Amino acid sequence: MNDINLFTPLKIKGLTLKNRIVLPPMVRFSLIGKDGHVTDELVDWYEEIAVGGVGMIILEAACVAEDGKLRENQIGIWDDTFIPGLTKIADACRKHKTPTLIQLHHAGFKEKISTISEEKLDGILEEFIAAFHRAKKCGFDGIEIHGAHTYLISQLHSKLWNKRTDKYGDRLYFTRQLIKKTKDIFDDNFILGIRIGGNEPTLKDGIQIAKEVEKAGVDLIHVSSGVPDPSFKQDRKIEMPVDFPLDWVVYLGVEIKKHIKIPVIAVRAIKKEGEASYLVENNLVDLVAVGRAMISRPHWISWAKKKYRFRKNTNGRLL
């Protein structure tokens, strides 16, 4: 594993990523109008990131239902009018040989998830399925299900909030059905990822969710945060070793990777080349998400390459 570094390609089924760096989904509200359609400014921003040499882009949360938005200016995919704009982004990224997934999202109902009718959830499941088919028509290289951050699927996965007694009381029922009912659109060149809460509310729950979605057929797991244990009052929402050098959400990804075989993306507060390289060179995760640092430094990849070469030439430390 010593030969693997941040700039080593990675193949996921038929897709080849030129390096281990991922732009995670970040909603660029300032670049989107209230109608939820893609703007030229948004296309340009994603193309700039692709030109910069990132290994993979995960497009920001696209809402599958008009009544499931985070806020008015969030991109949509709930009807066919969104296909042309989203296709522009997919085309722009493909031009630079950058595999691009689109994250599909529904904000949900927070702690009220147990009070929502079964018929309403059935309808949202169908909206997700329709959005999957639209995403394929747009020409993306795959889909990431948003199952983290206390949104709809995280709410259903949560044993703190999901106290339902119907079929959705099986906390992974919605997710399994979504994967099962869309399996026919996936192939070697169109992959399925999922962003999960690694604390739902505990790491043990996150590990179990990861195992279940791997078994259901996902190709890639992106580990972030879920519905937290309310007994943790500080930013960190789990117990973790005091000597772990990075963020607690990164730790979730590192631990979950030990229990599954498909690639894992770690995310949160990874800003420096040394932090990203530490995770990859030690085989702690397969991919690292660099988000806010990529916004503030659009050419983060070339900057990181310089840092990497300098560190290797001087035998510098990873962190």
Give residue 1's pLDDT. Answer: 47
63 three-state secondary structure = strand
Average pLDDT in the 77-101 region?
98
Answer whether residue 316 shows pLDDT above 90: no
R_g of the chain computed on alpha carbons: 19
- Per-residue model confidence (pLDDT) at position 319: 79
Q: Which CATH number describes the domain made up of 10-314?
A: 3.20.20.70
Using DSSP, state whether 278 is helix, strand or coil. Answer: helix
Say which residue the tokens 């949104």 belong to.
151
Measured distance CA(202)–CA(93) in Å, rounded: 36
Phi-psi region of 39 (alpha: psi -120 to 50; beta: other; left: phi over 0): beta
**pLDDT tier, 2 (very low <50, low <70, confident <90, very high otherwise):** low
pLDDT in tens, 254-281: 999 999 999 999 999 999 999 999 999 9
Average pLDDT over residues 289-313: 92
Mean pLDDT of 111-119: 98
User: How much is the pLDDT for 190?
Assistant: 98
pLDDT above 50 for 186: yes
Considering 46, 151, 251, 308, which one is annotated as catalytic? 151
Query: How many whole angstroms separate alpha carbon 9 and alpha carbon 271?
Result: 20
Nearest residue to 159 (alpha-carbon basis) of 151, 148, 170, 144: 170
Residues 212-259 have pLDDT tens digits of 999 999 999 999 999 999 999 999 999 999 999 999 999 999 999 999
Instruction: Give the integer Cα–Cα distance in Å for 280 and 35.
Output: 40
Domain ranges of the chain: 10-314
Q: How far apart are CA 144 and CA 102, in angstroms?
A: 6
Q: What is the mean pLDDT of residues 121-136?
A: 98
Total-model pTM: 0.97
Model pLDDT, residue 216 = 98
Average pLDDT (82-98) is: 98
Q: Tell me: pLDDT of 298 over 80.
A: no
Q: Is 251 a catalytic residue?
A: no
The closest of 225, 160, 222 to 191, measured between CA atoms, is 222
Interatomic CA distance for residues 74 and 80, integer angstroms: 16
Q: DSSP per residue over 257-277, as a string?
A: HTT-SS-EEE-SS--SHHHHH
Structure tokens at 314: 């001087």
Average pLDDT, stretch 24-44? 92
